[in-house]
Amino acid sequence: MLLAIDIGNTQIVLGVFDKNNMKSSWRLTTTPYRTADECYTQVLAFCGACEIKPAELSGVAISSVVPSMTAAFEKMVLNRMSHIGESFILKPYELPFIKIKYDSPRSVGADRICNGVAGYERFGGPLIIVDFGTATTFDVIEDDGAYKGGIICPGIETSSAELVRKAAKLTKVDFEFPDNIIGESTEKSLQSGIMYGELEMIDGLNRRIWKELGTECKVIATGGLAPVIAVRSETITEIVPFLVLDGLNRIYRKMQK
């Protein structure tokens, strides 16, 4: 079985795969100074929760946008999981089976390429993938599977936290859609702006991408807040919460072959 680790700026998502079947998943808060031993205690807790023995894991694959955490998990595998040997660290620009059309292929986040690989294999192309994370990202996959590029916007949690930090009388609110667009309290007004603002941005940018591509195409949503936003969207057609882990598992198995 494969332990797949997606290290993001806000959260780390763990998943265990038996071939293409994800048996279980877990989310951790990203702590940049977490040690390799601390990482291992979290992996042990995860394995215990899903009733898997660490010795049953045959590989570890890591997709990361936080270099310090990449090093910690890599050290964890070498020191604590010696039966595996070295972990597989995803470097998208080295993959032989996906063309990256970015001006600088090395600058594309590993998570975005994981999304692209899994999205294309599951749904074909052309395709738009909207990932709700620290940033809300749009990734565009062409009809031949090439990674064309995308859009990066502040995520819901990122933008709302900054607004609350800058405005003395505003407080954190739950990420829920209010019943009415016109808020009749500060809390409802803030929820309306955050949630409906995000929704309109998503649909508006997807339509602009369609126009630039010259065709309407399938739009996939992923990430922790995808189910909350996507159900209200007029352009999103599918919700796949763990698309990054799925892509990381697929890439790992391709590279092993």
**Active-site residues: which are they?**
111
- Using an 8 Å Cβ cutoff, are 100 and 115 in contact? no
**For the chain, where are the alpha helices, taking DSSP H only?**
36-49, 67-80, 110-123, 156-166, 186-191, 197-213, 226-230, 243-256
CB contact set of 186 (below 8 Å; sequence gap of 6+)? 169, 170
The CA-to-CA distance between both ends of the chain, in Å, stands at: 15
- Using an 8 Å Cβ cutoff, are 6 and 112 in contact? no
Strands 59-64 and 21-29, sheet pairing: unpaired
